[in-house]
Amino acid sequence: MSKELKKHMTKGGPGDKFLGEGKVDTSKWFENTPNLEEQIKNEEIWFCSAPFSLLYTNTMGELAPCSWAQEQVGPNVKNTGIVEYFTKDKALNELRKEMLTPGSDLKQANFICYNCRHQEELYGRSRRQASMKIQSNDPVLWPRIRNTAEDFRKNGKLWLRDRIFEVQVKFFGNQCNLDCYMCVPYDSSVRLQTMHSEELKEENVFSDYSKQRIKLPVSDDVDSVIKQIAELAPFIYNLKLIGGEPLVMKKFYKLLQAVVDTGEAKDIMLKYQTNMTVLTFEEHKITKFIPEFHKFEFTVSLDGIEEENNYIRRRSNWDEIVKNMEYVSMYPNVEVNINGTISFLSVLRFHKLIAWAKKNGDIIKMINWSNIRGPAKLCANVLPQPIKDKLIPLYEGFPDIQNVLLESNHGLSHQNALDYLMMVDTKYEGTKWEMHLFDVYPELEEYYDATVVPKRDKGFTDDIQIIDIQKPY
């Protein structure tokens, strides 16, 4: 008889090494069971939690894996149920399969997830990585995401089971009370007014696509979405409200009441992506809803402090914003974070906002930021080279910001950005929001040539991709 047992005789049977003292040899355990966490961490698969746990609609109502996915004509909440999309959409299921398959060619991911794929290649950081870092260390959420992904790998299907979903809704319109210079115009009602004004008719920064006057959703469609979200309440982990400015959008208050009425709000985290300029809008008070939810997070959009923030986010008031942050932070279930954008203007002073956040830890838990990738002419890399050279040392320890400043301008001139900003200044002359670029950022004045006549490029298009970097201070 052979001294070696045949292979079929060792599967679950004899042949394990005797270790003694009550110890057993586990070397053969889980040998043929792929470990999702190890595959993700070892980069055997390119995995993102969003296709398995996120429900997103853009301003036009189009459903997508996340807010960073490539915009494309696809399913819309006007004709496709949210659950139907999540469980049955062919492209979404193909994307999930790629993310769970070692050696996949990532055909869908390379298109749908272009923003993160591109940013990881260019800068080594992306929104996917920032989200995965947070979620993979969440002892409650991550096991649910893992189980959902493993179920899909095994069965090729998803169904509603755990409280796992992050719901991000942008379908309630674009009403906004600010005029942020870098914001995609169709996402803000005030921005659209400015961009279509006489003073801005020659601007050469934003594309016609980004300035389109979007058709606002009808009330019945919005009410249908509210009903669907309320029905999903037992499965929602995090409900994130995005504008426009959600604190000045009435339908969002109707949504909150509908979720509260389900009795599930006590187990849901609510996030507001807000400019934090108001806490009361007409008859609505956001503080009424704070005690109803398990956790209430205000992610405040800021790009600087004091007059610099007021210039970048025109019509805002720094002192009022700080006052509102201080007020809501007194609630025991409230968390206040900052989310900023690194752009042509903000990078000049963003280090001051980081320093402010460090000194105000009693109010702010985390400061986050994103390097805007569009419009290309307002990106930080377009600044004059001498200015970029002076800024780089100020961001020691923040390589993502330094990398943008080290990037070439790709042939784009800072003159376009300066022309555009001067036009905005002209638009606001004589109003209570009048401010002047070179009063706030005097270092830019020597690079402005007033004799150059702006000329709009024929067929001009812009790139609205951005990346998100999150860091606790």
Domain boundary among 162, 184, 216: 162
Say if residue 334 is in the same domain as residue 456: yes
Say if residue 278 is in the same domain as residue 385: yes
Q: Which helix (H) or strand (E) holds 336?
A: strand 334-342
* Nearest 10 degrees: Cα torsion 422, 424, 425, 430: 150
pLDDT at site 170? 83
- The CA-CA-CA angle for residues 8, 13, 14, to 5°, reads 105
Say if residue 87 is in the same domain as residue 74: yes
Please give the structure tokens belonging to residue 76: 């819309």
pLDDT at site 433? 97
pLDDT at site 3? 58
pLDDT at site 470? 39
Q: Which residue, 233, 276, 226, is CA-closest to 252?
A: 226
pLDDT at site 467? 34
Residue 18 lies in a domain: no
Mean pLDDT in consecutive groups of 10 residues from the start of the chain, 473 residues? 57 65 78 86 94 90 89 84 94 96 95 89 80 91 94 91 90 92 94 97 93 84 93 96 92 96 97 96 94 97 97 98 97 96 97 96 91 90 98 94 93 96 98 98 95 61 42 37
pLDDT at site 455? 63
Say if residue 102 is in the same domain as residue 186: no
Residue 3 lies in a domain: no
Is this model's pTM higher than 0.95 or not? no
Domain that includes residue 89, residue range: 42-162
Say if residue 121 is in the same domain as residue 184: no
What separation in angstroms does the CA of 372 have from each of 224, 341, 401? 33, 6, 11
Q: Are 343 and 173 in contact (CB under 8 A)?
A: no
pLDDT at site 19? 77
Number of domains forming the structure of the chain: 2
Give the three-state DSSP class for 8: helix
Say if residue 109 is in the same domain as residue 176: no
Q: Which residue, 420, 424, 430, is CA-closest to 455?
A: 420
Say if residue 278 is in the same domain as residue 395: yes
Residue 118 lies in a domain: yes
